[in-house]
Amino acid sequence: MMRRFVLPGRGTSTLEIDYETDLNEQQLAVVTCGSGPKIVIAGAGSGKTRTLTYRVAHLLERGVPPAGILLVTFTNKAAREMLGRVEQLTGLSRHRLWGGTFHSVCARMLRRHAGLLGYTDSFSILDERDQRDLLKLCITDLDVPVKQRRFPSAKVLAGIFSLQANTRQPLEELLSERYIQFIEWLETVRKISDRYASRKQAANAMDYDDLLQRWLEVLKDNKQIRDRYREQFDHILVDEYQDTNIVQAEIVEIMTGAKKGVNLMVVGDDSQSIYAFRGANYDNILQFPKRNKTTEVFRLETNYRSTPQILHLTNASIEHNKEQHKKVLRAERADGMLPALIPCSCPEQEAEFVAERILQLRDEGVALSDIAVLYRAHSHRLSVETTLLRYDIPYEVRGGLRFFQQAHIKDLVAYLRLVENPRDEVAFRRVLLLQPGIGNVTANRIWNAVTPQTSEGDALVGTFENMDIAGLLPSKARACWPEFVKTIREIHAFREDPETAISIVLDSGYREYILAKFDNSESRIEDLQQLAIFAGQYDSLNKLLEELLLLGELYGQEVGSNRQTNDDEPPIVLSTVHQAKGLEWHSVFIICLLEGFFPSQRSLDEPGGEEEERRIFYVATTRSREELYLSYPIIRAGGYGASVVQQPSRFLQELPETLYETWHLEEEPNGATNRNGGASQDFDPNIDPIWDDNEPLGEPWLTD
């Protein structure tokens, strides 16, 4: 027996939306435009979300049925926000609209047609952890020698397969270009990929990339289904189009193909296309008007976030990119202070400036949570992070761990701790478990056998050499054991030279371990190289380890009650520029603006790399509402006691001097802390500067 229950339709809002009052002229043109392919170039802070939601509301008012509108976003948060705003504007339940991320929309459609692919409609969706677990089973199935140092971990394999899916690069080409350390395993990796695909099918499961790939497969292979959705969706709107990959762009084009893109609107900012490393294809947004010949181009250029002074600098920077949709951001805000350029003598002075200025801003009433320090790569933050800890300024690292909490940092420091204190069981076990062929059982045996006979680092080496450790090891660990003992011996020999000791660990095979285990291996190696340079300030392992302990989370617990987020004082944010996209703060510090750092040398070596790096700089500068600080150290430690004079970033050198104010840093006598002074904007000619305004930006000079 069945009963029908009809929910009352909410219909559209009885409230009339005053579009002309609520929107600016450029936004109104987008919201009320007619049919045809449209591209909306929406500059940073220009009200893109507002424009999209009003566009949907306007379509509903014009009589377009809710089921005829498809709104695609890139994050669940953005989808909820947009659909919620549409509901508020129109009174129409968000559940009656087709909207969500690419993955959620494709999953919804695949549930209806899974049988065409040999799946049931109850197929599972694998998250990242599930994906790694299934890949481990595939590795076991194929009896792959995973204990060999250079074989990629399941996490790295997942990253390789995902990038291959999003870029459609042949596996051999992808490994050659981005994962050259694994090229010797090409055929094995290919077999794992095939096995992974068959295991997913057998398990009635798809991973995130499959949701896109398999839906595209259904569209390509089934004309009836293609026509059905082309007929259903009168209007397709795609947000953040600059971040789409090849697969996503093809899905959109196929779903609008019958109408030749007549009612497709893509929205995005080509100047914020910064995810090529994930497979995003910049040409999708750049070439959209060429692929759709009748495209009407709209621009949203009124910025509601930043002051005119910040936008003048931003516009001047991004205009150096040749491959772009031209636009000029205009401020709605009143005038503010000029962005500040701060040349610093060294990274430590740069970090001290950041900390001192943050404290001044707090005294001026700016909440710490409304301040951010941005950088191109996590390894650039070390000096700032250690200085914030010394100043007891609470902070959080967006999208990551604190520097000394990271696994690779703890691994390396464990080697140093073991040499300094052989009875440090945590360090002992951590180091042993990094060795090929050694698991928990073997580590326990070695610990129980060695510890009673060891008290000093040299005794540890002697114990390793004199005891029959080989008898405690499984066969696959015996070949590598002498190399491990050699590493411990060499670290002990350089106890008075921490920088060299760290380099010994890296060169002992830990570098290869990182390359095989982590998908962001190059970034982690850079972290360790920066740690080695940092260690060069200390003349013994003991002093270095004492300092690291005082700096906080190294042994698993924070030192000092104020070093974590607390309710009384929300923390400032430390973040890479990529993690900061879409966010904003009152004051933003962009640090380490040096050639080879920002822009990244690795990116400069890639086709189109300089322009993408400049787009990253654009994203960084547009995060600030009121105050923007651009800093760089003139001299950085180059390793083994050497100091290297650095060149300021080209992104600074190409800026007109009228767009920023140079702040000259002065040291107070006897190292007194200046809590009321900070940057001297009235330069005292009696004090030797570290910077000469008469010299070009790229050629600083130093006093003796």
Residue 593 placed within a domain: yes
Question: What does the pLDDT look like over 149-182, one tens digit per residue?
Answer: 578 999 999 999 999 999 999 999 999 999 998 9
Which CA distances in Å does 448 have to 423, 436, 442?
11, 20, 10
182 SS3 class: helix
Residue 241: which pLDDT band, with cuts at 50, 70 and 90? very high
Contact of 573 with 372, CB cutoff 8 Å: yes
- Chain centroid to Cα 183, Å, comes to 26
State mean pLDDT over 31-38: 93
Q: Is the pLDDT of residue 700 over 60?
A: no
Which CA distances in Å does 646 have to 342, 345, 569?
14, 10, 36
Question: What does the pLDDT look like over 357-409, one tens digit per residue?
Answer: 999 999 999 999 999 999 999 989 999 999 999 899 999 999 777 888 889 99
Same domain, 267 and 131: no
Same domain, 105 and 79: yes
| Average confidence score pLDDT of the chain | 87
Residue 690: which pLDDT band, with cuts at 50, 70 and 90? very low
State mean pLDDT over 242-254: 95
Question: What does the pLDDT look like over 613-638, one tens digit per residue?
Answer: 999 999 999 999 999 999 999 988 76
d(CA 671, CA 475): 59
605 SS3 class: coil
Radius of gyration for the chain, computed over Cα atoms and rounded to the nearest angstrom: 29
Secondary-structure breakdown of the chain: helix, strand, coil percentages, each rounded to the nearest 5:
50, 15, 35
Residue 693 placed within a domain: no
- In the chain, pLDDT over 90 holds for what percent of residues? 62
Per-residue pLDDT, 500: 93
Residue 49: both structure tokens together: 């979300």
d(CA 686, CA 246): 60
Residue 7 placed within a domain: no
Is the N-terminal amide bond of 599 cis, ω within 30° of 0? yes
Same domain, 480 and 525: yes
Residue 353: which pLDDT band, with cuts at 50, 70 and 90? very high
* Domain endpoint, select from 203, 229, 246: 203
Q: What is the CATH number of the domain that holds 488?
A: 1.10.486.10
d(CA 97, CA 140): 45
State mean pLDDT over 273-286: 94
Same domain, 229 and 99: yes
Residue 463 placed within a domain: yes
Per-residue pLDDT, 639: 60
Same domain, 409 and 487: yes
HSE-up of residue 223 (Cα within 13 Å, Cβ side): 0
State mean pLDDT over 322-339: 96
Same domain, 439 and 529: yes
d(CA 392, CA 386): 10
Per-residue pLDDT, 641: 60
Per-residue pLDDT, 137: 95
State mean pLDDT over 314-339: 96
Q: What total of structural domains would you count in the chain? A: 4
- Chain centroid to Cα 335, Å, comes to 32
Residue 216 placed within a domain: yes
DSSP 234: S
Residue 630 placed within a domain: yes
Same domain, 139 and 245: no
Q: What is the CATH number of the domain that holds 93?
A: 3.40.50.300
Same domain, 409 and 395: no
* Domain endpoint, select from 300, 327, 343: 300
Q: Report the catalytic residues.
A: 48-49, 239-240, 272, 623
Residue 438, Cβ density class (10 Å: 0-12 exposed, 13-18 middle, ≥19 buried): buried
Per-residue pLDDT, 1: 58
Torsion of CA 690, 691, 692, 693, to 10 degrees: -150
Degrees, nearest 5: CA angle 273-276-280: 75
d(CA 286, CA 324): 7
Per-residue pLDDT, 146: 72
* Domain endpoint, select from 550, 581, 609: 550
Same domain, 261 and 331: no
Q: Which domain holds residue 519?
A: 405-550
Regarding predicted confidence, which is higher, 480 or 340? Answer: 340
Residue 605 placed within a domain: yes
Q: Which residues of 185-208 are buried (b: 16+ CB within 10 A; e: fewer)?
A: beebbebbbebbeeebeeeebbbb
Question: What does the pLDDT look like over 416-470, one tens digit per residue?
Answer: 999 988 888 899 999 999 988 888 998 898 888 887 777 665 567 777 777 778 7
Residue 563 placed within a domain: no
d(CA 350, CA 373): 12
Same domain, 474 and 545: yes
Same domain, 179 and 289: no
Per-residue pLDDT, 644: 83
Per-residue pLDDT, 459: 66
Question: What does the pLDDT look like over 549-581, one tens digit per residue?
Answer: 776 544 333 333 334 444 568 999 999 999 999
Same domain, 365 and 440: no
Per-residue pLDDT, 260: 54
Order the strands of the 572-576 sheet from edge to edge: 395-397, 572-576, 371-375, 585-590, 624-633, 340-344, 661-662
Contact of 630 with 593, CB cutoff 8 Å: yes
Q: Is the pLDDT of residue 521 over 90?
A: no
Residue 259: which pLDDT band, with cuts at 50, 70 and 90? low
Regarding predicted confidence, which is higher, 562 or 295? Answer: 295
Residue whose tokens read 């040291």 = 667
Per-residue pLDDT, 552: 56
